[in-house]
Structure 1
């Protein structure tokens, strides 16, 4: 690394300007970060034996999900599928059962599909090349870089929200993570500072620092290994960096849910409505802009599913649920049928089994459906 290395900052007008980083500063920061990680890294299960398979599973699970939430799911998943071949030959239903409650269910479907590709095309081992890794379903730029650096010690820098926050404060970079120029600025700093000998440890150290010390609110600056030379710490306003990203407006949706019961069994279908949760079992449901439009949409759906269609009485209960940016108000309509009919796409589940699922989440049933079952 030459002494003419540069970091890129962003002015208030979002015009790029360059600020030199001294080589001695880069080396000191890198050393301090790696020593801190050696002494303070959390004993996470995927760090004990960083096999490519375990690292890949953990990175997929950690997308949009907190570490504390992931740990028990990771442990159960690895017990059931200890290697990629076990995952590749598993039934989709079993994969979904073990993923149930973790959210963002497309991840599990892509993971299962990717495992089958790895077995067929890569000899049962996560590929070492960036291009091959990116060809796998569900593996984007961040995941590929993370797995390759941690599992194979290849020199790829990674950028997520935690890393962006640490770098933004250290180098006083303005902007937010959804801005292209801001991301480019952070990436340039990372490429200059990345440890070529220990890229995996360097990446994990930055992520760990962002998760445990350089917090969005009330950062623990006095114990930060980068506080010497940190622009935001020196300014006395670390929480001002980076700027908050624009939040997507919450959309309130009404959902009509049919709790169809017959012979102590309830009817479930794959998917919710509007292409949501396509792999999970749910009660027949329909969205609407209001309670009445949702109710009419549900009647239309039941008319296509059952003949003659059942009538909907007054709703028994209302529950609330959130899926990404949607705030859902669900009205539950109890429907009694004389006999459980065999209908394509319809699955009849004993009431006792549904109650067990509601308590334990031990099946490929959506969190919303579990709430509905608990309200019945």
Structure 2
């Protein structure tokens, strides 16, 4: 396997962040589309992308793409792709699929056709009539969009949001990939204070700490492609060595996570310990009404409750009003709040400087961004507007 084409899949609204992360890793020829970022690279990119991408959902190896409006076209063009160069004889290779706005709308039929075509291709190379499929996993996906079929193999295994530090969760956890995106979008710098006053199981503070110390999010987990004989083990060893070489474990950080629920804070502390960043985060039981800081400048990043369950909406609206009053006391801070309520700004008490549409799972949300004044530089007593063009954090 020589140079490869990879697809980093992304939640709607995060594609540009994933693209920037790919570029930060040194890869070029990056193209962005709805839900995915495609790039060409050498074989080691499979290892590095899985280890380092904070906001992508998973990394797929692109095998081929073509137009198909009949099952015969799907079969023949799939069969013509270089499957035996990618999949070893003993491998397990199940097929999953999806179809959107395509003539071939039956996903189960498309999966069966692709499976048969791959088997026929491998029969020719390996000179056998059946395959036991008891070896490493090469999960194939056939994705049809407007009659264009894209064939890929998943290199990640479990989704990239599963960092390995959060076995126990609170009731409605925020995905680690989205939490990392919230921190990156805030342009938080490790030299400044970050506070989450509704931290729950600690995902936002933990992801901030990983970013602040440049710890690769995939450092403490495995990936399905680590078992592939088609990727030399030395490439994985080098990639993992790089994650240790580039981490700044001793960089001091000022990250605070507070919550009114003492039990959920126990989870937060345990999760931070599993992630290896418990020494970077101060967790404290505290109601929102009592949030304050002696620091002149800082950023609040939080994901307050949405009030989806019947009877909760009134309490959530009360919380948003309280947040508006409490945060107003921190008049030189910046606030970044993820919310689904259409009247959030009115309840909070002022319009956001900027809004960004995102998805938290299947829930449409807005990321409300309130820019405070930028801390003055040394020798400069005049506050400036927040510089929103500063570069994102990456390796």
Q: Same fold (TM over 0.5)?
A: no
The structure number with the bigger radius of gyration is 1
Structure with higher helix content: 1
TM-score (norm 2): 0.27
